[in-house]
Amino acid sequence: MKTLKRIAAGILSTALLLGMTSCAAAQQTEAANSASFTTIESGKLIMATNAFFPPYEYYEGEKVVGIDVEIATAVAQKLGLELVIEDVEFDSIIAGVQGGKYDIGCAGMTVTEDRLKSVNFSTPYATGIQSIIVTADSEIKDIDTLLGGSYKVGVQSGTTGDIYMSSSPEDGGVGEDRIERFAKGNDAVIALTSGKIDAVVIDNEPAKAFVKSNDGLKVLDTPYTVEDYAMAINKDNVALKDAINQALKELTDDGTIPAIINKYIPAEG
């Protein structure tokens, strides 16, 4: 009987030891995962955005909300971090991420060759469309009319609308001479309503929101171009990019990101 008790005690001790070892290993793995990337401020993920881009980012009272905010919040939670939002001018986001001022840039931002020279990008998490806003009585009926005329086009500085439209006519733009840049998309829309410019090129969802809140405007039926949105990340922090990509994959696979996008942009049909 004593022998059986000693054997039982030995088995129990071994089981406890294995359990403690397993727990310690799990803690070490978790610690290794959390230590595999760094952020500017410990425990926080600092996100630069431009909060005048509904429904991706905009103010609801004094709080910044929207698609990008909810997705970035979910990513931060996956990484065990607190999301901190910095509302800045759009064309300062890339430089801020590159210079180590922000961990990520998340503002309906498209991957372009020029931006890739300064920062890395996550895998895309949403698709955007560049659209054209005109007045209801405008002579501009489609993109060919806009490109072929002498119309003045308003864009938000530093956006892909700016990049595309300021390119030469041979490259599908109108050229620098016909571009008017604004710090915010809403400023361009105000200029359009007051007759200072003839059209505004901006992402489709903000375009629809601006038209809804301003009488006498419309979005042309034909899009200018289609593009994917991603998060800008400092080139030196590859580990953070990898962690964010993994989080985005998990959040897409479990339906979180599709649900967030559908909340703000309900699927048609």
Rounded CA separation 166/147 (Å): 11
- Does residue 153 register a pLDDT over 50? yes
Task: For residue 136, name the pLDDT band (cuts at 50, 70, 90).
Answer: very high
Q: According to the model, what pLDDT value does residue 76 have? A: 98
Examine residue 223 and say whether the peptide bond preceding it is cis (omega within 30 degrees of 0): no
- Reduce the DSSP state of residue 218 to 3 states and report it: strand
- Does residue 192 register a pLDDT over 80? yes
- Classify domain 44-125+230-264 by CATH number: 3.40.190.10
- Does residue 263 register a pLDDT over 50? yes
- Does residue 25 register a pLDDT over 60? no
pLDDT tens column, 90-133: 999 999 999 999 999 999 999 989 999 999 999 999 988 889 99
Rounded CA separation 239/78 (Å): 15
Task: For residue 226, name the pLDDT band (cuts at 50, 70, 90).
Answer: confident
- Classify domain 129-227 by CATH number: 3.40.190.10
Tabulate helix, strand, coil % of the chain (nearest 5).
45, 25, 30
Q: In sequence order, which ranges of the chain are alpha helices (DSSP H)?
A: 2-34, 67-78, 93-98, 113-116, 143-148, 160-166, 185-193, 204-213, 238-253, 256-264
Enumerate the CATH 3.40.190.10 domain ranges in the chain, comma separated.
44-125+230-264, 129-227
- Does residue 22 register a pLDDT over 70? no
Q: How far is CA 235 from the centre of its chain?
A: 17
